[in-house]
Each structure stands twice: as C-alpha cells, then as structure tokens.
Amino acid sequence: MKYRPYDYQEYAKQWIIDKEKAGLLLEMGLGKSVITLSAINDLMFDYFDIEKALVIAPLRVAQCTWDEEAMKWDHLRHLKISKVLGTEKERIEALGIEADIYITNRENVKWLVDFYKKSWPFDMVVIDELSSFKSPRSQRFKALRKVRPLIKRVVGLTGTPSPNGLMDLWSQIYLLDGGERLGKTITGFRDRYFLPDKRNQHVIFSYRPKEGAQESIYNKLSDICVSMKSQDYLKMPERINNIIKVELPEKSKEKYNQLEKDLLLPLKGSDIVANTAAVLSNKLLQVANGAVYDETGEAKHIHDEKLKALEDTIEAANGKPVLVFYSYKHDIDRIEKHLKIDDLRVLKRVEDIADWNNGKVSVMLAHPASAGHGLNLQAGGNIIIWFGIPWSLELYAQANARLYRQGQKQNVIIHHLVAKGTLDEDVMKVLENKEDRQEALLRAVKARVDKVKGGRE
C-alpha cells in the first residue's frame, strides 16, 4: 500500500529525525508505528545516521504489530526485521540474524543488556509505551539505564506519560536524556519539585508538587517532547461514555459493608480477610463484580447482578460484536457460564485478534493489561463493556483505544457496569480526575502543526 502521510505524521517523523532524544506523546490511533518506522528508514538509508535499531514493546505488540506495519506500506517493505522473542535459544538465534530492526518485549530488556555487556550494538532504541518504564526501581529501567550512554538516539512513545502524576515522569525522561532535564536521580527530582504530602510520623506515603513545579517541569520537556491528540488531527467518530448503574441485592450490600467495615467477611466454609488497604480495595472490587477469592484462593459467589447487566447490555447491542474487559479470573469463569455463547472468546492468541477483526467473534473477553497496548481491534466492532473497572488510567485509556482509534468507522460506545454504593463509583471518579491532570502535560507540549487537510489511501 502506498503511504500518504497526514501532515501531523510528517511533523512527527521530522521531530524524530531532528532530535536525538525524542518523546512522542501520541494519543492512540495516530499511527506511531508507521511514523517511527518511516523515521528509522530515513535515518538508516537517507541520512546514514544509524545502522541498527532496537524496538522495545509490550509482548503482544512485539509479536505482531511492528513487523505487520512494516509489511503494510510499500516504502517500508525492504526493512529487515528480526523478532527477539521466545526461549533464550530463539532469542540468541534472532540476534544472530543480520537485520535493520530488532524487536523485543520489555521483559527481555535485562537479559538483552546482560547478553551485550561487552559491546552494545544498537545505536537507536525505540521504547514503545515509554510509560511502562515509569518505575525507577524496575529491572527494565535499571538495565536500560546502564547502556543509555552507549545509545546515540532514543525515541519514547506513549499516550499516557503521567498516568499517576508528575513523579512518573522522571525515569521516562531520564531514558531519553540521561538526566539532563529532570536530574540524575529520582531523589534529586523529588526534592527539587515536591513536598511531603500524606505521612505517618517519619514515613512519607505521597508527595505533592511545589508551587510552580508543574510549569517548570513542562518547560524543561518542551524541547524534546511533543504531544498530539486524535481529535486535533483526525476525523474521529464520536465516543459515547455510558454508566450503567447496577443495584446489588440487600444481602450482597450487607456483605460488602461488613467487609469494608471489619476487614473480615465470614462465608460458609471460609473467610475473606483483608488486612491492608490495598488488599481491602481489591476485595471490595471483587465483591462489586459478584465473587471474591477466599484465603485459600477459591472464588466465592456473592451475586449475579453484574452478569445480568452484562447480558442485558450485550442483548441491547442487537447482534453487534462486543469487547468486554474483565478484572479477575473468576470474572471469566462466571461470564462464560452465565452467557453460554458459542462464539465467545477469551483474547489469548494472535489468532483471536484476526478472528475478531474478521467478524468471527461476537463477544471477546479481554484483560486490559494484556489487550491495552498496540493491538488493532477497531475492525471488529465499536462497543466496549467494562465489567470490572481498573484504577489505572493508563490501562483504561489504552484499552478503550483498541476500538476508538484511527480506522474506526462507527461511533464507539463504552459502557461501564458500576455497582451502586461500592468502590466502582470511586474508581470512575479517580479515572476522571487523573485524565484532567494528565491533560495539562499534554497541552503544555502540544505540537504546533496545522490540522490535517490531506490523508492516506
């Protein structure tokens, strides 16, 4: 297929070419893969600036997205790609192949750095979903940090750079610039821009930005980071968010309230114990969904109200395919048993993606953590149902973007099954608030490029 880039895609490609440290905060669906591959192609064969590129991506994206994107466009088909995935033997064999671009998943970063401890061969590294490196304590960050001085060009791609606040930015920006803008250490960054917030005597649980910190941070990033939103550059269909309130039975409400109050829910033959705030939150969300794991790991039934609401919502879709996001393993078991739909599928394999896009699946169950990055599902449907809602803005936004993205022809309807009087309602509020905070960063580094008039065939 002949590539006819939008104006914003040319702008983004040139941003990568012009800057050895480039952060592209591209909203899902804007074509970050073809933009980046086009930049790699130009840098490799027109500018002769790089010889080998490494792409680090979520596993499923590494398996099927990047090489498929290269094969899709005429100007990229000559690129030789080797996927460094699978067993250690398979990874070593893939590294032995002479290629232009090597693709690996982020779980292999430490192994790859250890493998090349004597001579790092990649002069350009692309980090797809840069926000997955937001923890400075993670092995993947520590490993990539070691070889950062050996990398000539780094590109970070993400649509959700600060899903949980400004503190998330330090490690991501460090991998781009080696600490030039936000400092060499997370401690220094924290001391410079934040004040202790929630604490218990000497133990500090959270920090809040100092006055003026937000603007100062954004200013420091503006020369290497640029953001783009779909509605600014694409003719997108409408996105319709719908809250479906689910009323729990009185007995289920009593069990929920008892667990919330006493941190202990006695059930027939077992107990549900929640001894920390995090565990309690998790247990309460499980109860809201209709079942909860006891201390032995067995799922205990609480109610079927969300299952009934799910069934009604699917029926109201009038035969249209529906993508359902679940939270827990027991959600899958109960949904499959309750719905009894022959072509219901749980998203696990690359073949499931193809079948969904080819109209062979009426109900697809997916976990936002496994389907939240890079998968193109927009050809298979336009209806999402959130059976269980995650705290993570990143997972939530990325999962919705599987259908609400470039190439979607219909309005996208996103239903949220929210159990009344439960933590579900608080989670929805948190997601909305985080969206507001992140918007400020995206506005601060927004691309200054004319809206698109042309397009791609």
Write out the residue range of the structural domain in which residue 287 sits. 251-302
Does 113 share its domain with 98?
yes
User: Does residue 427 lie within any of the structural domains?
Assistant: no
Q: How many domains does the chain have?
A: 3
Q: What per-residue confidence (pLDDT) applies to 274?
A: 64
Q: Domain check: are 15 and 100 in the same one?
A: yes
For the segment 243-269, what is each residue's pLDDT rounded down to a tens digit? 899 999 999 999 888 887 776 666 656
Residues 148 and 224 in one domain: yes
Residues 182 and 320 both lie in one domain: no
- For residues 181 and 19, the answer to whether their CB atoms sit within 8 Å is no
In a domain, 449, yes or no: no
Gap between the Cα atoms of 294 and 274, Å rounded: 10
Model pLDDT for residues 368-424, shown as the tens digit of each residue: 987 755 577 888 899 999 999 988 888 898 888 888 887 788 889 899 999 999 989
Please name which of 224, 204, 170, 188 lies closest in space to residue 15, comparing C-alpha atoms. 224
* DSSP-assigned letters across all residues of 54-75: EEEE-HHHHHHHHHHHHHHSGG
> What is the pLDDT at residue 200?
79
Do 217 and 243 lie in one domain? The reply is no
Mean pLDDT over each residue of the chain, to the nearest integer: 89
The answer on 275 and 214 residing in a single domain is: no
Residue 200 and residue 318 share a domain: no
**CB-based contacts of 148: which residues, under 8 Å, 6+ apart?**
154, 174, 175, 178
Asked whether residue 441 is assigned to any structural domain, the reply reads no
Q: Is the pLDDT of residue 310 over 50?
A: yes
Same structural domain, 273 and 290: yes
Residue 435 lies in a domain: no
pLDDT score for 452: 45
Residue 323 has pLDDT above 50, yes or no: yes
Q: How far apart are CA 259 and CA 291, in angstroms?
A: 13
- Domain presence at residue 452: no
**Which CATH number does the domain housing residue 337 bear?**
3.40.50.300
For the chain, report the end-to-end CA distance as a whole number of angstroms.
Answer: 8
398, with CB counted inside 10 A (0-12, 13-18, 19+), is buried
Both 212 and 269 in one domain: the answer is: no
Q: Are 182 and 112 in the same domain?
A: yes
Would residue 339 count as lying in a domain? yes
Q: Supply the pLDDT for residue 3.
A: 93
Q: CATH number of the domain that 101 lies in?
A: 3.40.50.10810
Same domain, 180 and 289: no
Contacting residues for 175 by C-beta, under 8 A, at least 6 apart = 127, 130, 133, 141, 144, 145, 148, 154, 156
pLDDT of residue 264: 64
Q: Rounded to two decimals, what is the model's pTM?
A: 0.68
453: in domain: no
Percent pLDDT > 90 in the chain is: 58
pLDDT at 64: 80
Give the residue-averaged pLDDT of 211-215. Answer: 92
- The answer to whether residue 130 is domain-embedded is yes
Whether 64 and 193 map to the same domain: the answer is yes
